[in-house]
Amino acid sequence: MGRKDCDVTTQVLPWGITPWCVNPEKEGGIYGEIMNRSKPLEGKYDVTVQIQLPNEWDSSLGHYNVGVTAGVETDRCAVEWATTHREKMNIVVVPSFHARSTFLTSGTGKEKTPIVVVPESYFKELLKDPTNQPFEFSTSKNFLTVGMFTAEDPDMDRKNIINTVKWFCQEFDGKKDVGLIVKTSKGRETTIDRELVRKSLQHVVAQSGCKNPPKIYMLHGSMTRDEMNALYKHPSMLGLISATRGEGFGLPMLEAAVSGLPVIGTNWSSIIEFLKGDSFLGVEYDLVSVPDQKADGNIFVRSVKWANPKESNFKRKLRKLYDENDKFKSSAKELSKILTVSHSSESINKKYDEAFSGVLG
């Protein structure tokens, strides 16, 4: 958008079951720019940037084609992604070395298309103190988890929201001062989706076996950057927690760390590339095969593996963060200083400039 010598055409595509956003004012008007430039594709373009699954990349659209993908969160990807579809593109951009390794380990080793790592950046509002605090919690010591319900079966749930909530309830059973804020959805921003999520959370708490479970707060639907900033920096917030089985990048964990929060997360995949030091409480895990029922032959293929965090170690890290929060908060401030520089939009834009060097002239 900043180049005056480029004529940009966009084609807005659906992603999974996530909702459309048609507010032209969002992101400082960038949404409006994208919508205004969206039109039927005509002819062959000089350069295309295709942010899609690898099997959706189309090399016929441009003379030079860039494939952008987060890949898959397991240890390997579909062979076709790593070979046929990779070779359609002139260059592939992924957000983590973990994502890059899934392509390299799944291919033949003879592929020519380079794979470049360009991480995600945090949103700039995280650099400000919240101007107001819209959230009120009745508990004085709170934890946060962010992620979609990706399955009703806990063994199929990649984000592992179900076990995150269950294990939290069990560890803090009877603790009236402790709460968990669950920012989640099942992919939609509808009232129906909200009620489905509410029922799922109620079921998880009921199945936890707790006599006096800690307070569980549900946040559903889209939130503004100012609201997310206020949530990360709420005075009662002790840290962000996740029993995820794998991440292509893990943006909420980056945002939490930039905000100065300690993070509990599975000690595997992309998040260990930027979560460093004592403020990251990495959870031990077993690398296990993804359930056959999860395999769709495209994103998840049979025999690939992801991480199963160990329940006892996760609970131990929860208690440790609760008991020694001041110590971990102090370490989190040091990591925040590093990430504020390394993952700023300016720093990441420079990496894109390097990746596209020579392409646009």
- 124-342: CATH topology is Rossmann fold (3.40.50)
Rounded-to-integer distance, Cα 162 and Cα 245, Å: 12
Domain boundaries, the chain: 43-121+345-355, 124-342
Rounded-to-integer distance, Cα 11 and Cα 257, Å: 33
Please, which residues bridge with residue 64 across strands?
47
Residue corresponding to tokens 């996740």: 242
Kindly tell me if the per-residue pLDDT of 17 is higher than 80.
no
Kindly tell me if the per-residue pLDDT of 14 is higher than 90.
no
pLDDT in tens, 265-287: 999 999 999 999 999 999 999 99
Mean pLDDT of all residues in 80-97? 98
Q: Coil, strand or helix: which one is 66?
A: strand
Mean pLDDT of all residues in 171-190? 95
DSSP state letter for 84: I
Kindly tell me if the per-residue pLDDT of 245 is higher than 50.
yes
Rounded-to-integer distance, Cα 122 and Cα 348, Å: 10
Contact 244, 157 (CB under 8 A): no
Dihedral through CA 322, CA 325, CA 331, CA 332, nearest 10? 70
Residue 89's nearest CA partner among 49, 120, 119, 41 is 49
What pLDDT is stored for residue 2 in this prediction? Answer: 62
What pLDDT is stored for residue 89 in this prediction? Answer: 98
**Rounded mean pLDDT of the chain?**
95
What pLDDT is stored for residue 361 in this prediction? Answer: 63
Rounded-to-integer distance, Cα 45 and Cα 61, Å: 6
Tell me the CB-side half-sphere exposure of residue 89, using CA atoms within 13 A: 28
For helices 325-342 and 311-323, angle between their N-to-C axes, nearest 10 degrees: 100
Report the Cα 224 to chain-centroid distance in Å: 17
Please, which residues bridge with residue 240 across strands?
144, 263
Out of 30-39, 163-172, 351-360, pick the least confident.
Answer: 351-360
Residue 88's nearest CA partner among 63, 65, 114 is 65
Kindly tell me if the per-residue pLDDT of 308 is higher than 80.
yes
Enumerate residues 6+ apart whose C-beta is below 8 A from 128: 229
What pLDDT is stored for residue 356 in this prediction? Answer: 86
Rounded-to-integer distance, Cα 143 and Cα 263, Å: 10
DSSP state letter for 178: E
Contact 347, 341 (CB under 8 A): yes
Enumerate residues 6+ apart whose C-beta is below 8 A from 206: none
φ, ψ at 221 (rounded to 5°): 95, 180
Dihedral through CA 203, CA 207, CA 213, CA 219, nearest 10? -30
Residue 250's nearest CA partner among 158, 334, 185, 165 is 158
Rounded-to-integer distance, Cα 249 and Cα 102, Å: 13
